């Protein structure tokens, strides 16, 4: 730990939901700790203590004090793991990234700086100029691109990639608006939509996303698209107060839980 972090604590909390990644998480952690220059903590969240990632994390943490393993108590699934991780964050900026190595950790610093400068959501965009999506199922990529570009152009949400999970958030903003998603990876879209309806600033940088080469994706398009669509529609509309937003978001959450 560098002297600045020891005195002031982390400036960015990196939250990584993980599910039976085993040794596959090692290169991801290596790249994060090699790349991130901002004083940070890395919170890897698993759903149960017998997850195959846990012993690998324990051995890694013996030599890396910035790494913490958290066992999610909010319920299984990536949405609950991300919620749990954000609630345990000890900094004003939280970055959500995946354990599969698809995201570029060299961009964590840039995303965090955008939040420190005042935006509430900073997105790593595959669909802005200079961005790219390499690999992955065609239909999934087509749906994500269509949703992201239409929201960016028509909904003016501040990013062309609202569905990407690789984002930085103001921790204060997330705790103010809450996270209503309970399954899937729609949190990135949800929080972007909430920022838009509150007219809070959102920004983006371009990124190159690479499909995972180890393990299987947990993205279930058939089950999760209806939930994504509700948050997509929610992004369009007049400015809301925080109380109005909470009421409307609760309705969406109730629909998504059926």
Q: What pLDDT, on the 0 to 100 scale, is given for residue 217?
A: 54
C-alpha to C-alpha distance for 195 and 243, rounded to whole angstroms: 14
Alpha carbons within 13 angstroms on the beta-carbon side of residue 37 total 6
Q: What pLDDT, on the 0 to 100 scale, is given for residue 247?
A: 97
What is the pLDDT of the chain when averaged over all its residues? 92
For residue 46, CA distances in Å to 43, 50, 196, 205 come to: 10, 9, 30, 28
Q: Domain span at residue 119?
A: 3-256
- As given in the structure block, the two tokens for residue 24 are 């596959």
For residue 121, the domain's CATH number is 3.90.550.10
| Residue 180 confidence class, pLDDT cut points 50, 70, 90 | very high
| Residue 4 confidence class, pLDDT cut points 50, 70, 90 | very low
Give the lowest-confidence range in 31-45, 132-146, 216-230. 216-230
Express each pLDDT in 51-74 by its tens digit: 999 999 999 999 999 999 999 999
Express each pLDDT in 184-193 by its tens digit: 889 999 999 9
User: What is the pTM assigned to this prediction?
Assistant: 0.90
Contact between 15 and 98 (Cβ < 8 Å) = no
Domain count along the chain: 1
């Amino acid at each position: 730990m560098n002297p600045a972090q020891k005195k002031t604590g982390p400036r960015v909390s990196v939250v990584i939901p993980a599910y039976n990644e085993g040794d596959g998480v090692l290169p991801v952690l290596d790249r994060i700790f090699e790349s991130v220059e901002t004083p940070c903590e890395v919170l890897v969240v698993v759903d149960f203590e017998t997850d195959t990632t846990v012993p690998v994390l324990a051995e890694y943490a013996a030599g890396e004090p910035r790494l913490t393993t958290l066992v999610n108590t909010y319920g299984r699934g990536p949405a609950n793991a991300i919620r749990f991780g954000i609630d345990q964050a000890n900094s004003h900026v939280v970055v959500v990234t995946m354990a599969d190595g698809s995201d570029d950790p060299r961009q964590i610093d840039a995303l965090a700086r955008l939040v420190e400068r005042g935006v509430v959501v900073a997105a790593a965009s595959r669909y802005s100029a200079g961005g790219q999506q390499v690999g992955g199922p065609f239909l999934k990529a087509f749906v994500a691109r269509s949703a992201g570009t239409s929201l960016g152009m028509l909904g003016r949400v501040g990013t062309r990639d609202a569905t990407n999970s690789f984002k930085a958030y103001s921790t204060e903003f997330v705790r103010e608006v809450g996270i209503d998603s309970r399954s899937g990876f729609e949190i990135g879209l949800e929080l972007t939509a909430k920022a838009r309806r509150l007219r809070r600033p959102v920004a983006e940088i371009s990124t190159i996303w690479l499909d995972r080469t180890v393990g299987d994706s947990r993205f279930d398009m058939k089950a999760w698209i209806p939930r994504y669509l509700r948050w997509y529609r929610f992004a369009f509309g007049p400015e809301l107060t925080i109380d109005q937003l909470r009421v409307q978001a609760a309705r969406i959450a109730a629909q998504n839980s059926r």
